Structure 1
Amino acid sequence: MKTNVADALYAGCEAVVKIAWLNGLWLLFTLAGGIVFGWAPSTAAMFAVIRKWLMGQKDVPVFATFLGAYKKEFLKVNVIGLTFMALLFVLAANYHYFSASADWLSFMITSCTLMAGLIYMVALMYVFPLYVHYELPLLKYLSQAVLFGVMRPLTTACMLLGSGFVLYVLYTLPGLIPFYGPSLFGLVLMFFAYRGFVKTEAQHHQAP
């Protein structure tokens, strides 16, 4: 019994250290890419490591796996990252400009912008899990992220709730952000997305 408890404590401590290490790598390589060109490949690399953990590869070398994914996907995933940054700029500018007016046309455009913002959030939650799990044409990741989010509403809801919980924990304990901020979001999103992918693949295999 004592051995089992000790093993569980050791595994828990090891996981905590690995998650913090992964978060540190995300921060380091995001800065190395000048933030603008670093955040997307760092995020894809982080999700690649987490995916391997979820697939049972607990002893995967974190640094080597992260660095390999970062270098391999740097150019391709930056296309996705820059696209999301441009979309965010357009949505923010639209909302800022039209929400300042009180006429009905501005109200309609503001409402549509908020709806587009929700779709944007769903796509952003799925795009990196999709990127590390599936080989797709580069331009299809955005549309497939939206499609998957709509087709699996329960998975999407779990991702939103899980992200909200992580946000609450980090807001309550802001000292954790440098050590566990992005990596906790990555764990939550990849966990639910991976389960959704596996279920979808199983359903496709069972279909006549």
Structure 2
Amino acid sequence: MREKGVMAMMYGACEAIMKIAWLNGLWVLFTLGGGIVFGWAPSTAAMFTVVRKWLLGRPDAPVFKTFYQTYKKEFFKTNGLGFILIAAGTILFVNYQFFRVRADLFSIMISYATLIAGLMYFVVFVYIFPLYVHVQLPFVRYFSQAALIGLVRPLTTAGMAAAGGLVVYVLMTVPGLIPFYGVSLFALVSMFIAHRCFLRLEG
């Protein structure tokens, strides 16, 4: 009986590992299928949707069907989120690079202000896709709610950053894992933490 239990656990672990790798492969495939620019945001939303189903106790949810249906249904709306995130990130990066090389007081102040804005951008970025697949909100409110949650739950935000850093460390230590788990591991870890946070806020 004990051997059967161990074998069942090993089988379940192997199945989970394969599903996470399969999910990562779907993200890469559909991101490339959307020309990267038009594919990454709906692929990310689809990936988080699958992970959320797992966290809700539905490990047998069909991965490809769920992914594809979400990708197709949310294609335009998630691309709106993606374009805003890309545009904001580009502006912040260019702005910081421009002012950081100048020595006058105004440029120094703008550089520090940009760093603070960049920190807020990071908060929005890590919360917005978990939030998007968790609750329906008016489009603009996803950004404000993601920022608000990040501010009122600083320990959760720090935990997400630390968990993300740990994933980066593991992937850099074993780079052979990157093609199979380079994105899905981030989704799994961040959605797990964010989902628990959302449930506490709703409770």
- Quickly name the TM-score band, shorter chain normalised: over 0.9
Aligned to 1:155: 156
Q: Give distance in 1, aligned partners of 2:192 and 2:156.
A: 10
Unaligned runs of 5+ in 2: none
Q: Secondary structure at the match of 1:46?
A: helix
- Tell me by how many angstroms 1:49 deviates: 0.1
- Tell me by how many angstroms 1:173 deviates: 1.3
Matches for 1:99-178 after TM superposition, within 5 Å: 99-178=100-179
Q: Secondary structure at the match of 2:182?
A: helix
Deviation digits for residues 125-146 of structure 1 (CA, Å, limit 9, x no counterpart):
0000000000000111011100
- Tell me by how many angstroms 1:153 deviates: 1.3
Aligned to 1:26: 27
Unaligned runs of 5+ in 1: 203-208
Q: Give distance in 2, aligned partners of 1:156 and 1:96.
A: 26
Aligned to 1:192: 193
Q: Give distance in 2, aligned partners of 1:146 and 1:177.
A: 29
Matches for 1:44-59 after TM superposition, within 5 Å: 44-59=45-60
Deviation digits for residues 56-108 of structure 1 (CA, Å, limit 9, x no counterpart):
00100000000000000000010000000000110011011001111111111
- Tell me by how many angstroms 1:157 deviates: 1.2
Aligned to 1:90: 91
- Tell me by how many angstroms 1:175 deviates: 1.3
Q: Which amino acid aligns with 2:113?
A: C
Deviation digits for residues 137-190 of structure 1 (CA, Å, limit 9, x no counterpart):
011101110001111112111111100000111111111111001100000110
Structure-1-length-normalised TM-score: 0.96
Q: Give distance in 1, aligned partners of 2:85 and 2:60.
A: 33
Aligned to 2:42: 41
Q: Give distance in 2, aligned partners of 1:36 and 1:171.
A: 25
Q: Give distance in 1, aligned partners of 2:110 and 2:37.
A: 29
Q: Give distance in 1, aligned partners of 2:192 and 2:35.
A: 29
Q: Give distance in 2, aligned partners of 1:4 and 1:112.
A: 56
Structure-2-length-normalised TM-score: 0.98
Q: Name segments (4+ residues, structure 1) moved above 2 Å.
A: none
